[in-house]
Chains A and B, each alone.
Chain A
Amino acid sequence: MKLHEYQSKQIFAKYGIPVPKGRVAATAKEARAIAEELGGRVVVKAQVLVGGRGKAGGVRLAKDPKEAEEVASAILGMEIKGLPVRKVLVDPAANIEHEIYLGITNDRAARRPVFMASAAGGVDIEEVARTTPEKIIKVHIDPLLGLRDYQANDIALGIDLPREYWKQFGDICRGLYRAYTECDATLAEINPLVILKEKSLSALDGKMLLDDNALFRHPDLAEMRDVDEEAPAETEARKHDLSFIKLDGNIGCMVNGAGLAMTTMDIVKLYGGEPANFLDIGGGASAEKVAAALRIILSDKNVKAILFNVFGGITRCDEVAKGILAALAEVKPNIPMVVRLVGTNAEEGRKLLADAKMITAETLAEAAQKAVAAAKAAA
């Protein structure tokens, strides 16, 4: 789950990391009021869950409240990489002397958290990572010991941070590490962390990604999810504990198991079709869950055929068949459906579906070919 900049910075502030004292606005008028409160120059920043806001014109300076209102009004009407801007953050403008990058993430290969830092912070950090990776230093953290003070010093030393800032920088590293662990983040990033002309550090921008699997112990963070930023079908799927991703094709896929669901998409494509979605109904899927999944697939008007591929293990094929029948009775879809049931209780499942006028298949390849042919005939 992605957090907005303003949400990330609110969390950072809780962990003692200095952030600008701006606020978020949903209208240009609110932006003006915030600018008046802050006084002086402000920066108005689009709050969308994609990178490259600055380069798209979504981050602009304003010299006074009137200009802040104008700028906010322009940004609030924008789309950045297809996402409409619904909120802006109004922060006091900073007097920047130098920009640093500081972040922590999971290093999957090392199986440890890793701090990354660079003296060359700012908007081009990805370019730095690509062309001059030696300018980014990495310090791995023992997950059982946590961040040690000497490691924070190592990071400061590694980016040639002037010594007068070491103490404050150490506090920021410790705060960031606590934010990362206590929120179960997969990424907590400050870019840039700036040295102000006033001789102190400030986190001008922030980004956090949270581990979806850990949200059960963070109900407060789970509530921060911005459902406006995802496809409505994906929100609906999450409600039913289904794993769903919308794609651009016309063959709806309902599969049990993530690996098999990916494979089903791949094989549809291999035989000349285009999958409309990734959908994993999970292990032990009940009839209700299957019905919800079918409704979600059918809510996509591009879908011209549906392919059910179920390999029963924990999931019982007769349960899935019952779910399909219940859903068919309810939504009465008018499109061809190909079904393949193998494994636990497959025979019982097939019997249940015998009267449902579905196209049946024995093998995965046969099922995919039949679904592709059906979609082409219906298109």
Chain B
Amino acid sequence: MSILVNKDTRLIVQGITGNEGLFHTQQMLAYGTKVVGGTRPGKGGEWVLDGKVPVFDSCKSAVSATGANCSIIFVSAKFAPDAIYEAADSGIPFIVCITEGIPVQDMMRVREYLDQKGTRLLGPNCPGLLTPGEAKVGIIPGNIAIPGNIGVVSRSGTLTYEVLYALKLQGMGASTCVGIGGDPINGTNFIDVLEMFERDPQTEKVVLIGEIGGTDEEKAAEFIRTKMTKPVVSFIAGQTAPPGKRMGHAGAIIEGGSGTAADKIKALEAAGVKVAKHPEEIPSLLK
């Protein structure tokens, strides 16, 4: 078992003919993900990657031809909200948006719309997710993780890679690794994923990687304290970040004294979570 994606996931790639879309489609196929199609308005009927993947003009036609149940979005920030609406309207239940830089007011409208439709979104501004040995939907390098019993959830991209790699070096594997993204408003938050890990029989332990800004880690701490039986280890990035400055991720900003790393670490420790001083310390805390 795993969460959200597995070997049966049927994936379409929105923006498949762009540089990033094409490169990562190739990587996902090589990993074994069932990429059943892609979309690019105006290029329907073509094939990419030596005739391996058909291109459609719209999500609707891609879904009806392939039976896709998951979509990944690689289009630029300007067009990404429309791509999300399109995927949702074509009946896809799970959408992963890699795109960085979507305006926050667009995301408020997108999230409201998806909630009304009952569609799940992961991201935006995220690395996607990886169920080692089964499927990769996103840009996490496949070779840095092995299958195992640790669920990983993170707001970051490359920092998550560090953690997966540190686990692998100790022979520890992941059930699923989920990057929820670094934006202030996203589709799936820590609690959603923690809930899935708690229910997933393969997952025995959980790693939560947070960062400054917002109160999602505090809410996750409350959830862990009251609802979780599986042990959780955490790391929070941004302990040295100055207030009022946006640290790269649109969501990583300490505002009006709230959202500091110290507050988050305190809340997590109070919930019984072991918090690592640096990412390479995580494997030893899981033992």
> CB-nearest residue of chain A relative to B245?
A245
Give min CB distance, A256 to chain B, whole Å.
6
Which of the candidate stretches B6-14, B51-59, B138-146, B222-230 sits at the interface with the other chain? Answer: B138-146
Pick from B101, B139, B249, B278: contact of A259, CB below 8 A: B249
In the complex, A184 Cα to B141 Cα: how many Å? 35
Q: Number of contacting residues on A, CB 8 A? A: 52
Interchain CA distance A251-B110 in the complex, whole Å: 41
CB neighbours of A260 from chain B (8 A): 156-159, 161-162, 237
A108 within 8 A of B: yes
B157 contacts A213, C-beta separation under 8 Å? no
CB closest chain-B residue, reference A362: B169
* B24 CB contacts on chain A under 8 angstroms: 314
Set of chain B residues within 8 Å of A270, measured between Cβ atoms: 277-278
Q: List chain A residues, Cβ under 8 A from B252.
A: 258-259, 262
Query: Which A244-284 residues have C-beta < 8 A from chain B?
Result: 245, 247, 255-263, 265-270, 275, 278, 280, 283-284
Closest A residue by C-beta to B161 = A311
Q: Given the complex, which residues of A lie within 8 Å of B103, measured CB to CB? A: 184, 211, 213-214, 217
- Which residues of chain A are near B102, meaning CB under 8 Å? 213
Indicate whether A267 sits within 8 Å of B209 (C-beta atoms), given known contacts A275-B240, A313-B141: no
A190-230 residues at the B interface, CB under 8 angstroms: 211-214, 216-217
Q: Which of chain B's residues have a CB closer than 8 A to the CB of A269?
A: 239-240
Q: Is the CB of A267 within 8 A of B141?
A: no
Interface set, chain B 124-150, CB cutoff 8 A to A: 127, 139-141, 144
Q: A211-B105, A247-B242, A278-B248 are in contact. Are A343 and B141 (CB under 8 A)?
A: yes
Measured between beta carbons, the chain A residues less than 8 angstroms from B238 are: 262, 266
Q: A214 to B103, alpha carbons, bound, how many Å?
A: 5
Known A108-B214, A144-B112, A283-B157; contact A266-B245, beta-carbon cutoff 8 A: no
Give the shortest distance, in Å, between A193 (CB) and chain B (any CB): 21
Q: Find out whether the CB atom of B104 lies under 8 angstroms from the CB atom of A314.
A: no
A323 interfacial by beta-carbon distance below 8 Å: no
Stretch at the interface among A20-28, A39-47, A109-117: A109-117
B159, B185, B252 — which one has the most chain A CB atoms within 10 A of its CB? B159
- In the complex, the answer to whether A257 meets B280 with C-beta atoms within 8 Å is no
CB-based contact B109/A143 at 8 Å:
yes
Residue A95 CB within 8 A of the other chain? no
Q: Is B250 in contact with A213, judged by CB distance below 8 angstroms?
A: yes
Q: Which of B257-281 contact A (CB under 8 A)?
A: 261, 277-280
Chain A residues near B280 (CB-CB < 8 A): 363-365
Contacts of B235 in A (CB 8 A): 263
List, in ascending order, chain A residues with CB within 8 A of B248's CB. Answer: 243, 257-259, 261-262, 278, 280
Check: A106 CB closer than 8 A to any chain B CB. Answer: yes
- Tell me if A186 is interfacial: C-beta within 8 Å of chain B: yes
Contact between B237 and A313 (Cβ–Cβ < 8 Å)?
A: no
- Beta-carbon contact of B105 and A144 below 8 Å: no
How many angstroms from the CA of A366 to the CA of B200 in the assembled complex?
36
CA distance A260 to B139 in the complex (A): 16
B145 vs chain A, min Cβ distance (A): 12
Residue among B101, B113, B214, B278 with most chain A CB within 10 A: B278
Is B154's beta carbon under 8 Å from chain A? Answer: yes
Interface class of chain A by DSSP: mixed
Q: Choose from B78, B245, B278 the contact partner of A263 (Cβ within 8 Å).
A: B278
Q: How far is the CA of A86 from the CA of B195 in the complex (A)?
A: 53
Question: Are the C-beta atoms of B242 and A245 separated by less than 8 Å?
Answer: yes
Query: What residues of A have a CB within 8 angstroms of the CB of B78 in the complex?
Result: 216-217
Q: Is B286 an interface residue (CB 8 A)?
A: no
Measured between C-beta atoms, what is the minimum distance from A323 to chain B in Å?
17
Q: Do the beta carbons of A265 and B211 come within 8 Å of each other?
A: no
Complex formed: what's the CA distance from A106 to B109 in Å?
12
Residues of B with C-beta under 8 A to A214: 103-106
B172 within 8 A of A: no
Q: Is the CB of A265 within 8 A of B159?
A: no
Is B38 an interface residue, CB under 8 A from the partner? no
Give the docked Cα–Cα distance between A289 and B168 (Å).
31
Residues B242 and A263 in contact, CB atoms below 8 Å apart: no
Does chain B have a CB within 8 A of A342?
yes
Is A109 a contact partner of B108 (Cβ separation < 8 A)? no
Closest chain-A Cβ to B243's Cβ sits at a distance in Å of: 11
Q: Which residue of A lies closest to B109 (CB)?
A: A143
Query: Which chain B residue shows the least CB distance to A218?
Result: B103
Query: CB distance A259 to B141 under 8 Å?
Result: no
A149 within 8 Å of B (CB atoms): no
Determine the distance from Cα of A280 to Cα of B280 in the docked complex, in whole angstroms. 20
CB-nearest residue of chain B to A112: B108
At the interface, yes or no: A235 with Cβ under 8 Å from chain B? Answer: no
For A142, A186, A266, the residue with the greatest tally of chain B CB atoms inside 10 Å of its CB is A266
Residue in A142, A212, A280 whose CB lies within 8 Å of B112: A142
**B residues in contact with A256, CB < 8 Å:** 158
Given contacts A265-B240, A266-B239, A313-B140, contact A259 B108 (CB under 8 A): no
CB–CB A143/B158 < 8 A: no
Complex CA–CA separation, A268 to B277 (angstroms):
12
Query: Is B104 within 8 A of A186, CB to CB?
Result: yes
What is the bound-complex CA distance between A247 and B242, given in angstroms?
8
| Cα(A144)–Cα(B117), bound, Å | 13
Interface residues in chain B, defined as those with a beta carbon under 8 Å from any beta carbon in chain A: 20, 24, 77-78, 100-106, 108-109, 111-113, 127, 139-141, 144, 154-162, 165, 182, 184-185, 209, 211-212, 214-215, 235, 237-242, 245-252, 261, 277-280
Give residues in A with beta carbon < 8 Å to B.
106, 108-109, 111-113, 142-144, 181, 184, 186, 211-214, 216-217, 243, 245, 247, 255-263, 265-270, 275, 278, 280, 283-284, 311-315, 342-344, 363-365
The 5 closest A-B pairs by CB, nearest first: A259-B156, A258-B248, A257-B158, A259-B159, A214-B103
Give 17 CB contacts A-B under 8 Å.
A112-B112, A143-B109, A184-B103, A184-B104, A211-B105, A217-B78, A258-B156, A259-B237, A262-B159, A263-B159, A263-B235, A278-B245, A280-B248, A311-B161, A342-B165, A343-B165, A364-B280
Please give 4 more A-B residue pairs, beta carbons under 8 A apart, in addition to A243-B247, A275-B240.
A108-B185, A211-B105, A260-B157, A342-B162
